[in-house]
Amino acid sequence: MSLLNILRYPDPRLHKVAKPVTVFDERLKKLAADMAETMYDAPGVGLAATQIDVHEQLIVIDTSDTHDALQVFINPEIVWASEERQVYDEGCLSVPGIYDGVERPSRVKVRALDLEGKPFEIEADGLLAVCIQHEMDHLKGKVFVEYLSPLKRNRIKTKLLKEERELNRDKNKAAAAR
């Protein structure tokens, strides 16, 4: 297994819409395993293939404290969502260090395929429901900051671009010193 590079907002590749998975093979299993390893290392509770610049409908999620409840969703679709909504403070591996409240349905029923291509359904609430909806947004090319006001979104974009410039400047200084 290997760690993968996570795209950072506002990278335009985060806005690409993922295509359905049609081939269930060893490449897909390795991709899911590498995504899980990357998610755990980050550390996070969910990762969509879009975030690692693979535009296929694949997400991995583990909301357990012990990192032993990995769930893989391929071609997921929400088949039911509660009218009841909740605001949850969300963060994202592609938007490091930023957390803000997003309102979503509090419960969802999701239909997806597993790594063998077998269909399953799951009903989720709480953190799992939020995480599924958040990761499915990535597959549609949407990042959670798009639920925030334009002012907040622009502040976040400016902050992350500044951090990236500083990081690149430090890398260049280190390379020049060698």
CA 18-160-145 angle, to 5 degrees, is 50
Does the active-site annotation cover 135? Answer: yes
Q: Is 92 assigned a ligand-binding role in the annotation? A: yes
Counting every residue written for the chain, the total comes to: 178
Catalytic residue among 90, 135, 163, 164: 135
- State the Cα–Cα distance between residues 1 and 101, nearest whole angstrom: 34
Q: Is 55 assigned a ligand-binding role in the annotation? A: no
The conformation of residue 23, written as its DSSP 8-state character, comes to: -
Q: Is 131 assigned a ligand-binding role in the annotation? A: no
- State the Cα–Cα distance between residues 137 and 132, nearest whole angstrom: 9
- State the Cα–Cα distance between residues 66 and 68, nearest whole angstrom: 5
Bridge partners (DSSP) of residue 89 are 101
* Integer angstrom CA distances of residue 161 from 65, 98, 136, 156: 32, 13, 25, 9
**Token reading at 154:** 């622009």
**Token reading at 11:** 């990278």
- State the Cα–Cα distance between residues 50 and 72, nearest whole angstrom: 14
Binding residues for Fe cation: 92, 134, 138
Binding residues: 92, 134, 138
Q: Which residues does the annotation mark as catalytic? A: 135
